[in-house]
Amino acid sequence: MESYCGIVTATPKSILVVGGGIVGLTSAWRLAREGYRVSVVDPAPGRGATWAAAGMIAPHAEVAPGEGANFELQRQALSAWQLLSNELAAVVERRIEIGVTGTVLTGWDAGDRRLVEQFRLVATGFGVNSALARRESHPEIFAGLSDRISSGLLLDGDAWLDPDEAVSVLCQGLTTVGVEFITQKVHTIEGDRSGVRVHFDAGSQSADVGILATGAFGLPHGATPTGEHAVRPVRGMTVRIDGIDRSNAPTLRCFVRGRPFYMVSRPGGYCVIGASSEERSGPLIEVGELQRLLRDALDVVPEIETSTLLETRVGLRPASTNLEPFLEVWPERRWAWSSGHFRHGVTLAPLTSRDVVGFVNEMTK
C-alpha cells in the first residue's frame, strides 16, 4: 500500500476519464483519492460548458416545476464542494473560494414581478424559505441597482465559486497526485471484460475501466448507449466584466421583460453576467443576443456602463431528456457515461463523482 500526501493508493487499477470538464475532473480527483491510477484525456480540459458557466451553486434560486429530485441533489452540493475544496487545499495549498451569499431575485416590470411571485409559490412548494427584502430596509442589497427595483425575494444558502479557479485548482491537484493528462481528442473507444482502450490521433491508451464525461459533445465511435438516455446541447452565453464588486451582497437574479438575468460578483470586481439559453449548438455569438443581455444588464445595474468588458463565452449545457444527470453503465464493456447535468453541472459535479467511484469499485472488485 502506497501513501502520497495522505492519499492511500491501495488499488492500483487504471482508469481512463475521457473529458476533462468539471464532471471529468472531479471524478478523476475522487478516483485518485480512492487509489486508482487515473488518466484524463481531453484536448482542452475545462474549455467545454464549464468554461462558460457562471459557477452558481444555487439550489434555492434554481427550483423549477418537475425538478424535485434534482433540487434535493443540489441541496447537498455546497457541503460536497466545501469538502472538495478542503481536500485540494491540503494537497496544493490553494483553495477553491466558495462564497455563500444567498440570492436576491427581483423583477423589472409588473409582468416580471408576477414571475417572481410565481417563482415564490413554486419555491415554497419545494420547502424553500424566502423573505421579502425592501430597498428601505436593505439598502446594501439594492445599492447600484436601478431605482425601479424596490424589492426582491431573499433566498438563503445559495453560493458561488469561480469555475476557472475550480478547474485550475483541480488540474494542479490532479497533477500533484500523479494523474496523467493526455491532451488528445478520443475518436474511438473499445471495451470488454478484460479492459478498455481509447484511440486518438497520437496513439492509444488502455486501462481497466473507462468513464465518458464528454458533456454535450458527441460520443466517440464505439460507444454503445442503450437508448435510455440522450443528451442535447442547450447553448448559453455569459459575459465577463470588471469593475463592480457586489461579492458581499446576495447574487443578483432578475426577470427582465420575461427573460432571466443574473450577475455573479466576485471579490475585486470580476462579474459574470448571463445568460442566454437556446436549443442549438454553435460557438458564434449573434450581435442581437449580446445586445439583449447587455441591455438587460444596463437596465438592472446602470453602473455597468462604466465597467470594463472583458470577455464573452459560449458553452453547451448537456441536457438529458428528463433534465436530470445520469450515469449510464455498460458493465460488460467496462465503460460508464456520465452526462446530462444541464444547468447544474458545476453544482452537481462533486456528487456525481461519488457515483462514478461506485461504478469503478464495482468493476474492479
130 vs 347, beta carbon nearer ligand FAD? 347
Cβ burial 307-333 (10 Å sphere, 16+ → b, else e): beeeeebbbbbbbbeebbbbbbbbeeb
Q: Which is nearer to ligand FAD, 246 or 344 (CB)?
A: 344
**347 counts as binding ligand FAD under rule CB under 6 A:** yes
Binding of ligand FAD at residue 84 (CB under 6 A)?
no
The partner residues of 99 in beta bridges, in order of sequence, read 160
Inter-axis angle of helices 163-176 and 77-92, to 10 degrees?
A: 50
238-267 residues near ligand FAD, rule: CB under 6 A = 238
Q: Which residues in 269-288 contact ligand FAD (CB under 6 A)?
A: 274-275
Instruction: Using CB atoms within 10 Å of the CB of residue 19, give its burial: 0 to 12 exposed, 13 to 18 middle, 19+ buried.
Output: buried
Does residue number 28 form part of the binding site for ligand FAD (CB under 6 A)? no
What secondary structure letter does DSSP report for 221?
A: B
Interface characters, 166-195, with ligand FAD (x: CB under 6 A): -------------------xx---------
133 vs 213, which CB is nearer to ligand FAD?
A: 213
Nearest-5° angle of CA 337, CA 161, CA 34? Answer: 45
Q: How many residues bind ligand FAD (CB under 6 A)?
A: 44
Give me the least distance between CB of 104 and ligand FAD, in Å please: 16
DSSP state of 241: E
For ligand FAD, the binding residue among 15, 31, 32, 54 (CB under 6 A) is: 54
CA-CA distance, 164 to 169, in Å (whole number)?
9
Under rule CB under 6 A, residue 214 binds ligand FAD: yes
Does 27 sit near ligand FAD (CB under 6 A)?
no
The DSSP bridge partners found for residue 21 are: none
**From the CB of residue 126, how many other CB atoms can be counted at a distance below 10 Å?**
16
C-alpha cell at 250: 446576495
Residue type for 157, please?
A: G
29 touches ligand FAD by CB under 6 A: no
Query: What residues line the site for ligand FAD (CB under 6 A)?
Result: 18-24, 41-45, 47-50, 52-56, 185-186, 213-217, 220, 236, 238, 274-275, 315, 317-318, 339, 341-347
